[in-house]
Amino acid sequence: MVRDDIAQLIAEAIRRAQKKGELPAFGLPEVPVTRARDEAFGDYASPVCMTLARVARMAPIAIAERVVAHMPPAPFIGKVEAAHPGFINITLSPQWLTQQVEVILAEGERFGHLDLGKGRSVQVEYISANPTGPLTIGSGRNAVLGDALANVLAAAGWRVHREYYINDTGTQVELFAASLYARYAQALGCDEPLPEGGYPGNYLVEMGHQLAQEYGERFLTMERGQALTALREEGLKRMLASIQADAAALGIHFDSWKSERSLYEDGIYGLVFNRLSAGGWLVHRDGAVWFTETPHTSSGGDHQATEEQQTEALVRSMQDKDNVVVRSDGRPTYFASDIAYVWDKLVTRGFDWAIYVWGADHQGHVPRMKAVTRALGLDPNRITVILYQLVTLKRGGELVRMGKRTGEIITLREVVEEIGADATRFMLLTRAAESQMELDLTLAVQQSNENPVYYVQYGHARIASIFRYARERGFSPEGGDVSLLIHPAEQALIRQMVRLPETVALCAESLSPHHLTHYAQELATAFHAFYKECRVVSEDAGHAEIGRARMKLVQAAKIVLANTLRLIGVSAPESM
RNA sequence: AGGCCCGUAGCUCAGAAGGACAGAGCAUCGGAUUUCUAAUCCGACAGGCGCAGGUUCAAAUCCUGCCGGGCCUACCA
């Protein structure tokens, strides 16, 4: 990537200047390179000389001048200048830029791909919403974030595995089954109340009706326990199918759907439990089994009664951090499953890295997961949790309190049907995960045609249209000479195109795919400006040569736009 | 009470891990096209980055305190 190359060149220049005695000897720091703030300063800038002023005991500008004088030549560098108060400004070579068009054409779909991951494997687990109801718009942010992140990591050279974790066991699932039973029975005219804490949502009423229609009284005639199990399985199956369809509507497809229950059936839970137990990480208290972050080794028996109050406070604070793994009634908690699951990810299946995408309401769970990973003898850095702030929903300015358990649900499907998959994805992805976002559905629907996604897609469609027009008239980019592309608008467009790789790197390294949406807009802006300024296809005499070159440019721009949109997970239409 | 996140133009948000005069979209106002899609382009208006200190040659970015908002602090998931 250009940016990294520049940093290396500057470092080399500093070493050369030192060797010549023009700069004093000092340890070389990491050289920061940023995009220049203003075009007038060139493309990239480095403030490194300002940091060096102290160790070099020289004015920053003087250092910069000497560094500039020793910059090794490189094909992509057009101009290097020292600027007050001590910046090194780098302008890309116009000719090198023009050649990038050929590079992009040659790389095609692979342009923007990197090898940061070096083929290591990463599992990205996202959505994983309880299959006790349809996906909500809240899950949508999770979905979009996780999916775009997976795309970005794949482009950055990781072997990516996408997974949905199905919570198909535990209290909530039993409640779901009981709720479904009630709705089913009600559909058949029985006076069966919804269980306490059950799911009041309308979707279960509908499912109850369907089941009543399809199966008649079959589940009523069964023994109740059996009926609950049967309905649970039937309900989960249907719920998952609906979730899968909702995800697919957003263009999301998982490599695998991992069942929580399977962690128990496959013995992973037992294995992990024994391991923790042997390590002294489990304590029994109040009839339950707790995971403790301060292990009780059998040798550590010297709990002498020191300052009593202090010890008591200490023990209490440590106990506060303990978490129940097995309830006093013998049923494991979801935390127990998660412990087995992390083992399954990192050991059984051997992913190098596991990324979880969680809503901010799960933040408290992160330290536990890190601690338990360490307790299992695994490097906690092999798991990363991405927390995103929950979406605050409004409808015409009114706050909507939402939840499957409250029954008030705005489904993802509703929103996708209303404003479309592309607009939904783009909208949910433009903001950084840690930023709270407020979504007024009324406004979102009203303004969906102002969604920036269309601006970007329009760029792609416009290029497609240029080619249709060109084809009709028998023009082709064949033999175009890209070195002619020196118009400011052409150069500006190429500059943006060339930035895709470093944008991918930025997104991958910071695990923040939202930068891509901003990049996409800047790229589209450069294209639209070019389109206005520069005619591509023309029958004018004397235009043929530049026309062919511009067709190549526009073809390359189309590739970059398409690649960017693919990473975001949005379609790149041929016409709009 | 404690913990995590956020507070940047009228609105919704970026701001590349401390750097050069603070950015975009929307909204408002004013311009542009006899030619490849006007879902376009150009321009204007508009904030000094919640407040107060501190660190630094340099702070929207780091530290402290305060204010405001969201979330969390279950033998729910």
Tell me the two tokens of residue A211.
């089941």
First to last CA, chain A: 34
Angle (deg, nearest 10), helices A268-278 and A334-343: 90
Look up the protein residue whose alpha carbon has the minimum distance to the C1' of B13.
A431
- Residue A431 CA, nucleotide B19 C1', distance (Å): 25
- Residue A122 CA, nucleotide B68 C1', distance (Å): 40
Nucleotide nearest to A460 (CA to C1'): B37
Name the amino acid, one letter, at A564.
T
- Residue A450 CA, nucleotide B38 C1', distance (Å): 14
Looking at chain A, the whole-number percentage of residues with pLDDT higher than 70 is 94
Nucleotide nearest to A324 (CA to C1'): B75
Segment A93-108 shows an average pLDDT of 97
User: Which helix (H) or strand (E) element contains residue A159?
Assistant: strand A159-166
- Residue A448 CA, nucleotide B25 C1', distance (Å): 13
Which of these, A246, A135, A145, A243, lies nearest to A568 by C-alpha position? A145
Nucleotides of B under 7 A from a protein CB: 3-7, 12-21, 23-27, 35-42, 57-58, 69-77
- Residue A144 CA, nucleotide B10 C1', distance (Å): 30
Q: Bin A306: left if φ > 0, else alpha if -120 < ψ < 50, else beta.
A: beta
- Residue A410 CA, nucleotide B44 C1', distance (Å): 41
Q: Is the sign of the CA dihedral A157, A159, A160, A165 positive or negative?
A: negative
Q: Can you point out the beta strands (E) in A197-276?
A: 256-259
Q: What is the distance, to the nearest Å, from the Cα of residue A415 to the centroid of all Cα atoms in its chain?
A: 20
Nucleotide nearest to A551 (CA to C1'): B36
- Residue A83 CA, nucleotide B24 C1', distance (Å): 27
Q: Is the sign of the CA dihedral A353, A358, A363, A368 positive or negative?
A: negative
Which of these, A325, A414, A342, lies nearest to A376 by C-alpha position? A342
> What are the tens digits of pLDDT across the range A145-169?
999 999 999 999 999 999 999 999 9
- Residue A528 CA, nucleotide B70 C1', distance (Å): 38
Look up the protein residue whose alpha carbon has the minimum distance to the C1' of B71.
A361
Look up the protein residue whose alpha carbon has the minimum distance to the C1' of B25.
A452
- Residue A574 CA, nucleotide B22 C1', distance (Å): 37
Q: Is residue A539 over pLDDT 80?
A: yes
Looking at chain A, the whole-number percentage of residues with pLDDT higher than 90 is 78
Nucleotide nearest to A530 (CA to C1'): B41
Q: What is the distance, to the nearest Å, from the Cα of residue A14 to the centroid of all Cα atoms in its chain?
A: 38
- Residue A456 CA, nucleotide B31 C1', distance (Å): 24
> What are the tens digits of pLDDT across the range A230-277?
999 999 999 999 999 999 999 999 999 999 999 999 999 999 999 999
Residue A86 contacts residue A49 (beta carbons within 8 Å)? yes
Nucleotide nearest to A431 (CA to C1'): B13
* Interior/surface letters A51-82, b for 16+ CB within 10 angstroms, e for the rest: bbbeebebebbbbbbbbbebbeebebbeebeb
Nucleotide nearest to A532 (CA to C1'): B41
Maximum CA extent, chain A: 99
> What are the tens digits of pLDDT across the range A442-477?
878 887 888 999 999 999 999 999 999 999 999 999
Q: Is residue A111 over pLDDT 70?
A: yes
Q: Is residue A95 over pLDDT 80?
A: yes
Query: pLDDT-derived band of residue A138, with 50, 70 and 90 as boundaries?
Result: confident
- Residue A451 CA, nucleotide B68 C1', distance (Å): 30
Query: pLDDT-derived band of residue A318, with 50, 70 and 90 as boundaries?
Result: low
Ordered DSSP codes for A48-83: HHHHHHHHHTS-HHHHHHHHHHTPPP-TTEEEEEEE
Nucleotide nearest to A528 (CA to C1'): B40
Nucleotide nearest to A430 (CA to C1'): B13
Look up the protein residue whose alpha carbon has the minimum distance to the C1' of B75.
A327
pLDDT the model gives residue A546: 94
Which of these, A534, A533, A535, A555, lies nearest to A477 by C-alpha position? A555
Q: Where are the alpha helices (DSSP H) in A108-195?
A: 137-155, 171-187
Nucleotide nearest to A456 (CA to C1'): B39
Nucleotide nearest to A330 (CA to C1'): B75
Lowest mean pLDDT among A209-218, A293-302, A328-337, A436-445: A293-302
Question: Could you give the ipTM of this predicted complex?
Answer: 0.95
Which of these, A186, A163, A177, A165, lies nearest to A236 by C-alpha position? A177
Segment A137-146 shows an average pLDDT of 92
> What are the tens digits of pLDDT across the range A281-315?
999 988 999 999 877 654 433 343 334 444 444 55
pLDDT averaged over every residue in chain A: 91
Residue A352 contacts residue A381 (beta carbons within 8 Å)? no
- Residue A279 CA, nucleotide B48 C1', distance (Å): 56
Look up the protein residue whose alpha carbon has the minimum distance to the C1' of B42.
A529
Look up the protein residue whose alpha carbon has the minimum distance to the C1' of B23.
A37
- Residue A302 CA, nucleotide B34 C1', distance (Å): 95
Task: Please tell me which residue, A547 or A410, carries the higher pLDDT value.
Answer: A547
Query: pLDDT-derived band of residue A402, with 50, 70 and 90 as boundaries?
Result: low
- Residue A532 CA, nucleotide B32 C1', distance (Å): 10
- How far is Cα A533 from Cα A527, in angstroms, rounded to an integer? 10
- How far is Cα A381 from Cα A448, in angstroms, rounded to an integer? 40
Tell me the two tokens of residue A172.
């909530």
Residue A174 contacts residue A199 (beta carbons within 8 Å)? no
Nucleotide nearest to A449 (CA to C1'): B39
- Residue A449 CA, nucleotide B45 C1', distance (Å): 25
Segment A97-106 shows an average pLDDT of 97
Nucleotide nearest to A438 (CA to C1'): B12
pLDDT the model gives residue A55: 87
> What are the tens digits of pLDDT across the range A56-75?
889 999 999 999 999 999 99
Which domains does chain A carry? Answer: 2-92 (3.30.1360.70), 171-252 (no CATH), 266-388 (3.40.50.620), 452-568 (1.10.730.10)
- Residue A524 CA, nucleotide B39 C1', distance (Å): 12
Query: pLDDT-derived band of residue A552, with 50, 70 and 90 as boundaries?
Result: very high
- How far is Cα A459 from Cα A549, in angstroms, rounded to an integer? 19
